[in-house]
Structure 1
Amino acid sequence: MFHSIKKLVLGATFALAATVAFAQESSNQVASNTDWYVFQEGTQCWAVSKPKETVNTDSSGRIKSVRRGEVLMFVSYAPSTGIKGQVSFAGGYPFAGGSEVTLEIGGTKFALFTENETAWAVTPEDDAKIVAAMKRGAAASLSGHSARGTYTKDTFSLLGFTASVEDAAKRCGG
């Protein structure tokens, strides 16, 4: 089952990569709710946010200066591809092969699988659990490590999350 879900999610990788690039330059922002934004392109919508805090360290825990691409957290809706509330994280660097990203919300941890620069929940059921936790939480922290050995922790505010994700779902059939 994991492989079929991974195949579906990886098929959306190109759409997500385009979404990341698009979100950076888009004039299709349709809503703003504190720290979260809603974008829409046709029947595809997403709630997106940038981290409030980023910490990069080496394997010994020492602060490390690194260059990363755009770091974003998404909840996507694309009914034509069956995506409804898909949680993803663009880490801004290639993740270490076979590694996981740990998402923590209010003391609850979720494991996200990685592929290149993106991490996702394993199943749609996990997506739903994460979205529910995000609606109840105040912050979400994602910890991962790069192919070059850098450890990262990105913390996102969840202020405005519920309004943004509900708006995206309403607009795009979630």
Structure 2
Amino acid sequence: MRVRRFALFAALLALAAPLAAKDGLGVFDAWGAFRDPKVPRCYAIAAAQGSSGQYEAYADVGTWPRRDVRGQVHFRLSRELAERARITLTVGGQRFSLTGGGADAWAVDKRMDAAIVAAMRSAQTMSVSATGRTGRRFTDRYTLAGAATAMDAATVGCARVR
């Protein structure tokens, strides 16, 4: 169990490296929480399950206290999006139409961010589906085991930053 947990932490840290993570706040099942005091920002992050594509797909929920941004949802998709592609996030039984470009997707506004985070707290899985640049549909899938705890750890990790 310890070896598996360390391997998961190493994988999450590798995903977080491009995001310039500095401090690990913990690994909670499939999700990790990190703090970057230079920005400052904190975020929960998870790798897509069995993702194979152009990019390492991941989902993150970030907090930037000095920008008054909390619970901002972001997805790095496994493939480059087709022009004007429809991006659909499914969390449990709820569906959300995301916005995006390149290989990234986001909620359209703060209200949608809050609704997605709330749905993530009570669901077991989520997936993001879109059409890639090649014209083929793809889906990146995530388990939400540990997501709520990782999001809470990220929020607490930046709670004292002003």
**How far apart, in 2, do the equivalents of 1:27 and 1:76 lie?**
14
Could you tell me the percent identity over the aligned residues? 26
Question: How many residues are aligned here?
Answer: 144
**How far apart, in 2, do the equivalents of 1:98 and 1:141 lie?**
19
Picking from 83, 87, 95, the partner of 1:101 is 87
| Structure 2 residues not aligned, in runs of 5+ | 1-14
Q: Is the CA contact (8 Å cut-off) linking 1:23 and 1:39 kept in structure 2?
A: no
Q: Is the CA contact (8 Å cut-off) linking 1:30 and 1:40 kept in structure 2?
A: yes
Pick closer, same or farther for the CA change 1:78–1:27 going to 2, 3 Å. Answer: closer
Q: Is the CA contact (8 Å cut-off) linking 2:21 and 2:35 kept in structure 1?
A: no
Mapped pair 1:29 → 2:24: yes
User: CA RMSD of the aligned region, Å?
Assistant: 2.1
**Structure 2 counterpart of 1:46:** 43
State the AA in 2 paired with 1:105. V
Picking from 137, 155, 171, the partner of 2:123 is 137
State TM-score, norm by structure 1.
0.75
**How far apart, in 2, do the equivalents of 1:24 and 1:76 lie?**
11
**How far apart, in 1, do the equivalents of 2:159 and 2:98 lie?**
24
Q: How does 1:48-67 map to 2 (within 5 A)?
A: 48-54=45-51, 67=53
State the AA in 1 paired with 2:74. S
Greater alpha carbon shift after TM alignment, 27-36 vs 72-81: 27-36
Q: How far 1:25 sits from its partner (Å)?
A: 7.6
**Structure 1 counterpart of 2:112:** 126
Superposed CA offset, 1:96-129 (max 9, x none): 1222311111211011101211100001010000
